[in-house]
């Protein structure tokens, strides 16, 4: 097992060199992989207005951010509210301390708790990570930490939220390598495709391109909808498929037990964040639209192609919290795509007071994409002064 940790992992990480070089070559916006259509130009112009406005509709900074980004009072973003070309030299905006508080209490602490053996065994008793949300009550827990990362679903009566969280990668287990490094593209699972079809547009010449991942398939993609051209990471989708039924059942049970549910909060770190994103998509179609929904993750690798990323932007409020020199957010090549709303920590060894910015666009060269010195040490943080990962709980 020591051989796996010390030799195979560096080998896989070194295999990212070609994608990183390709990213560096694409850093200039004028060298975009695909030309922008007139429609894309108009959407870009609308998107740039986001940072000129500030929402005053909610006292919750997390909700306010979602409203600001979606330009809507609805719990979910408005279809087509913003869109950008894959790479861009886009603006950034410092996030307020109140939003840092929300990220620290919810995203960082829930994600950190998932590495605790106590939480994995069904006990909400893991020191500072659990103490940040002391009223949280576990409903279900599962996973074996090997082929299936641990997960929890529970209820927070203070915030009236249902929380879904997954464990990140634990490379002491061989199957984690299979989950993480099966990069081959797959078509969407039925539950995911059903949800995304609700926000997909008819396919046209101005549609977001499927990208070169399509070339990996035995036959070219065809169809009338963007959903037909959506591809995802096979390892992540396979991992998600094994745990989703139990998570879905728990979420539906909790919404029945708590008709006052205000929102569903889906989070985690690393591999867990990729699986959490797929949870967020599938769950959105099985709960009432009156219930808010947020996917807020840490150190998330790319999950799907640009079509997938754009559809997610249209479906739920989502943020990916990226940390300075971490290589993980750059895994899967740039022919895949991140969605919008990256929150980027600008320096290593961060504290609560380290500058943290909201990055406009899907692949912003002023944020994680622009970092040329990459490694694995920053992947566990510290996120606003808090480290997360196996062995820290």
Q: Are 196 and 315 in contact (CB under 8 A)?
A: yes
Distance CA 37, CA 213 (A): 21
Distance of CA 381 to CAs 87, 104, 181, 291, Å?
25, 12, 22, 31
Inter-axis angle of helices 174-181 and 234-257, nearest 10: 100
Q: Picking from 62-76, 98-112, 301-315, which range would have the lowest pLDDT averaged per residue?
A: 62-76
Distance CA 346, CA 327 (A): 14
Instruction: Judge if the upstream peptide bond of residue 382 is cis by omega within 30 degrees of 0.
Output: yes
Chain segment 222-257, per-residue pLDDT in tens: 888 888 888 888 888 888 999 999 999 999 999 999
For the residues 362-383, what does the mean pLDDT come to?
Answer: 62
The model's confidence at residue 177, banded by pLDDT at 50, 70 and 90, is low
Distance CA 98, CA 53 (A): 17
Inter-axis angle of helices 306-315 and 271-284, nearest 10: 60
More confident residue, 351 or 13: 351
| 386 found inside a domain | no
| 373 found inside a domain | yes
What residues does 225 pair with on adjacent strands? Answer: 202
Chain segment 36-60, per-residue pLDDT in tens: 434 334 334 433 443 343 333 344 4
Number of residues assigned to the chain: 393
Question: Could you tell me the two tokens for 150?
Answer: 């641990």
For the residues 310-336, what does the mean pLDDT come to?
Answer: 53
| 392 found inside a domain | no
Specify the pLDDT at position 248. Answer: 97
More confident residue, 187 or 340: 187
Question: Could you tell me the two tokens for 372?
Answer: 């040329």
Reduce the secondary structure of 116-158 to three states and give it as a string.
CHHHHCCCCCCCHHHHCCCCCEEEEEECCCCCCCCEEEEEECC
Listing DSSP states for 150-193 in one string gives -EEEEEETTTTEEEEEE----TTSHHHHHHHH---EEEPPHHHH
Question: Given a cut of 50, is residue 124 above it in pLDDT?
Answer: yes
Question: Given a cut of 80, is residue 161 above it in pLDDT?
Answer: yes
What is the C-alpha radius of gyration for the chain, rounded to an integer number of angstroms? Answer: 19
| 258 found inside a domain | yes
Chain segment 259-296, per-residue pLDDT in tens: 999 999 998 877 667 888 899 889 988 999 899 888 88
Specify the pLDDT at position 116. Answer: 93
Specify the pLDDT at position 251. Answer: 98
Specify the pLDDT at position 135. Answer: 97
| 387 found inside a domain | no
Question: Could you tell me the two tokens for 58?
Answer: 């909610």
- CA-angle at 151, arms to 144 and 303, nearest 5°: 100
Q: Provide the percentage of residues in the chain whose pLDDT is more than 70.
A: 56
Distance of CA 252 to CAs 123, 187, 258, 271, 294, Å?
22, 26, 10, 24, 16
Rounded mean pLDDT of the chain? 69
Specify the pLDDT at position 265. Answer: 93
| 390 found inside a domain | no
In this structure, what CATH number is given to the domain that contains residue 315?
3.40.50.1820
For the chain, where are the alpha helices, taking DSSP H only? 2-3, 9-14, 17-25, 38-47, 61-70, 97-102, 109-113, 117-120, 128-131, 174-181, 190-196, 234-257, 271-284, 306-315
Domain of residue 374, residue span: 2-380
For the residues 287-314, what does the mean pLDDT come to?
Answer: 81
Cα separation of the two ends of the chain: 22
Winning range, highest mean pLDDT, from 46-55, 63-72, 107-116: 107-116
Total-model pTM? 0.70
Question: Given a cut of 80, is residue 166 above it in pLDDT?
Answer: yes
For the residues 345-360, what does the mean pLDDT come to?
Answer: 77
Specify the pLDDT at position 125. Answer: 96
Q: Report how many helices (DSSP H) and strands (DSSP E) the chain contains, helices first.
A: 14, 11
Q: Are 341 and 319 in contact (CB under 8 A)?
A: yes
Question: Given a cut of 70, is residue 210 above it in pLDDT?
Answer: no
Tally of domains within the chain: 1
247: left (phi over 0), alpha (psi -120 to 50) or beta: alpha
Distance of CA 202 to CAs 83, 257, 284, Å?
16, 38, 21
Specify the pLDDT at position 317. Answer: 60
For the residues 367-392, what does the mean pLDDT come to?
Answer: 63
| 16 found inside a domain | yes
| 204 found inside a domain | yes
């Amino acid at each position: 097992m020591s051989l796996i940790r010390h030799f195979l992992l560096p080998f896989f990480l070194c295999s990212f060199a070609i994608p990183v070089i390709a990213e560096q070559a694409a850093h200039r916006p004028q060298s975009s992989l695909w030309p922008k259509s007139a429609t894309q130009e108009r959407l870009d112009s609308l998107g740039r207005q986001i940072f000129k406005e500030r929402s005053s509709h909610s006292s919750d900074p997390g909700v306010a951010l979602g409203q600001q980004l979606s330009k809507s009072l609805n719990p979910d973003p408005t279809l087509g509210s913003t869109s950008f070309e894959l790479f861009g030299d886009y603006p950034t905006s410092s996030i307020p301390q109140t939003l840092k508080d929300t990220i620290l209490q919810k995203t960082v602490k829930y994600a950190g708790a998932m590495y605790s053996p106590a939480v994995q065994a069904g006990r909400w008793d893991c020191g500072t990570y659990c103490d940040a949300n002391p009223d949280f009550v576990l409903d279900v827990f599962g996973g074996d930490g090997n082929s299936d990362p641990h997960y929890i679903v529970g209820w927070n009566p203070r915030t009236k939220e249902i929380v879904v969280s997954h464990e990140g990668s634990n490379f002491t287990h061989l199957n984690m390598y299979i989950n993480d490094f099966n990069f081959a593209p797959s078509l969407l699972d039925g539950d995911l495709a059903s949800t995304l079809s609700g926000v997909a547009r008819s396919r046209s010449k101005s549609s977001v391109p499927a990208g070169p991942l399509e070339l990996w398939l035995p036959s070219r993609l065809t169809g009338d909808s963007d959903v037909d051209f959506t591809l995802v990471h096979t390892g992540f989708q396979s991992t998600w498929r094994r745990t989703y039924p139990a998570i879905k059942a728990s979420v539906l049970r909790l919404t029945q037990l708590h008709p006052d549910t205000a929102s569903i909060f889906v989070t985690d770190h690393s591999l867990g964040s990729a699986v959490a994103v797929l949870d967020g998509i599938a769950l959105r179609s099985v709960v009432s639209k009156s219930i808010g929904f947020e996917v807020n993750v840490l150190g998330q690798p790319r999950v799907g192609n640009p079509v997938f990323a754009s559809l997610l932007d249209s479906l739920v409020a989502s943020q990916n919290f990226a940390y300075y020199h971490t290589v993980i957010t750059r895994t899967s090549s740039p022919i895949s795509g991140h969605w919008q709303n990256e929150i980027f920590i600008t320096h290593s060894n961060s504290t609560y007071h380290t500058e943290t910015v909201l990055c406009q666009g899907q692949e912003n060269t002023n944020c994680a994409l622009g970092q040329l010195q990459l490694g694995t040490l920053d992947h566990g943080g510290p996120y606003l002064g808090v480290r997360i990962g196996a062995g820290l709980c």
